[in-house]
Structure 1
Amino acid sequence: MHDHRRLGRELGLFDTDPLMGAGLPYWLPDGATVRHTLEEYVREAERAAGYRHVYSPVLGKRELYEISGHWDHYGEDMFPPMQLGAEQVILRPSLCPHHALIYRSRSRSHRELPLRMAEVGGMYRSELSGVLGGLTRVRAIQLNDAHIFCTLDQAVEEARAALALIGRAYADLGIRASRYRLSLPGEGGKYVAGPGLWSRATALLREVLDGSGVAYEEAEGEAAFYGPKIDVQIADRAGREATLSTIQIDFHQPERFDLHYIGADGAKHRPVMVHRSVIGSVERAVAHLIEEHGGAFPAWLAPVQLVVLPVSQAQEEAAAELVRGASGAGLRAEVSGEGTLGARIRAARLVPYQAVIGAREAADGLAALRLRDGRRPGALPAGELLRRIGERVAARGTGLWA
């Protein structure tokens, strides 16, 4: 079984330092490449699905979270306020209050809806040290988050489209959902009042799940404090389950922030707020990917996609030329020239593509291609080799060769 904490350090993806603190890992160059590629992938997928991206600050005044309900219902998981003159500011535990403020920053028409607002942004949770672990549970979280402001009639279709977007991302990443969960409120004061709003939101989410044809279970006590949600669950090799992706339909925060749009009738109407996250926190997503693939990431996500192996020093210039061509084509490539060829091939076992250049290949402008899965397509002209790898990378997914 792969443990992402051990493997992530062995592969030089991330690490921690006591002076930074528990639950605050830092990303090393290869890990930063995986993270950046993952973030750009989800931004691209969102742009294609009609989302517009924003940036919002990681701090907010205490009053903001009093309005949203986080202060009363989520305060134990928030960092304490910082005093700035007469004001108190807090590291945000969620992005949704900021997006609500962006929505209400100007008048909105029904013609603008659905308005899909997305951000890959930081948020902070005051997690107890006993529950922290590697990238799975951290205190500084980079969240792939989005909020769709729409009419009531649009809410089910928007949530269903978000569920389909999650499914496509899982296919490209090689992730399998262990189950789908409809998370409902439980007993106690954790949840905001308003049984009518809860029942309406729950009915809409059931309609989304039923219409999508996925099997799901209901779980009380797992809802967000402001509304029910669809949780897409993943499991590690030991069977431990965690939530990666979520979809929520929220009537509470539009009311708390007095959000509205001007309808076709010229009157003000309250929008519905659909929260959704395709890959959840980047940290948890990468942790799961490390364990799921044992460090052998899909080719488009791998920190190094092509390693070029000259058989001897005489082929080093040909190898360097191939790497320059690969870099110009947008591929992440490097030369490996130290040690025996066998040792270098073994060291690059997790790299999707290995190109060996001997004397014959160098003379003919070829490279002998080896795939990570053991297949050997053979000697190919450099241009064709780079074109075919580029096409496979651009196609995303988990396949190595067409």
Structure 2
Amino acid sequence: MNAWGLERAGRGPWGPGLIGSWALSGLGGLLLTAAFPRTDWAWIAWVALVPLLLAVRGKSPGEAFQLGIVCGLIHYLGALYWIAYVVGHYGGLPLLPAGAILFLLCAYLALYPAVFAVLAARWCRRPLSWLVGLPAAWVALEFLRTFAVTGFPWAVLGYSQTQSLTLMQSADLWGVYGMSWLLVFANACITAPGSGRQRLVGWLCLALCLGLTAGYGRQRLEQIRALEAKAEPWPVAVIQGNIEQASKWDPEYLSATIERYRGLSEQAVAGDPRPRLLVWPETSMPFFYGLDPEPSARLEQIIQSLGVPVLFGGPSATLVEGRLRPLNRAFLVDAAGRGGGNYAKRHLVPFGEYVPLAKLLFFVQRLVPAAGDFVPGTSSRPLILNGERVGVLICYEAV
């Protein structure tokens, strides 16, 4: 009888029983969530996968898949619970359908830790596969989740360490996925099967990776501080009008919105140091700039009076197959009130700017009222302001 058969028969030394395994998987989901806001216990990420990795030992692929689903569901429901409120409040759905959408989203996301759990169950008696394969598998699954279907990059494990500036400097080499790899490698070392010598090799490799990561981070921080000391200050003022979403798209509220941003910007430009650029939020100007003549001219006059360039967000439109479709743009207008280029958001928010699988989810409304679903932009070129390059990311793209 193989190891899985022994475990099911209750005679195997590997892995807890059924109830213990489910409890461990649930605990793993809670620990993963605790590594992110609002608790922000970043250190927990270094051990958060330990319960799941212990739970899947000696389990069949089917059993491991179920345990991964439990862990993933609890984690994502805990991390993304607020989506039900957003979909209900802004999408006009009752609580039950909004909760169902959240559950379906989390069930989909839970498939990724479920596949990871299956691989862990298969490799639980192969020390090399465990130590090398598990971190690589987790990162591959996170990368797939970031781009598959509509792409959902939220709660990538490496993001839990953003408060550690030293460790996170390595992201300029391999992105957040490098930090995810390091975290999973630490969890794999804690739970590694095999002889004491094999586990020792794993711990030595972990210590080496941590040392190199921390050393690189300290060096990069020193370089950045040196550059900051030499660089000419470039003050930027960020303006947040805090307009209620339900009011922002009401045409009768447009004048009040523009005036609020004018007043806040006047306060900012009167400060010391005087900003060289004002940044207003995504869709802060809820009209089609350049296409709606009256509010466009009014906005340009305001920017002229401020005497400072403004980068602001607003909807735009483009022809797609003979039809006008909206874009989510950032516009740069110089101090003279002249257009200085624009950028169209390329990674749109599902259910916010378009409804994925619209034929299936025909009952779901977009959270942003507009004339049809938004379409993504195609260019990532930076904008140019007085010879300086200004890179733009809008909302979801910064994740």
TM range (shorter): under 0.3
Bigger relative contact order (CA 8 A; separation at least 6): 1
TM-score (norm 2): 0.26
Between Structure 1 and Structure 2, the one with more strand by share is: 1
Q: Higher helix fraction: Structure 1 or Structure 2?
A: 2
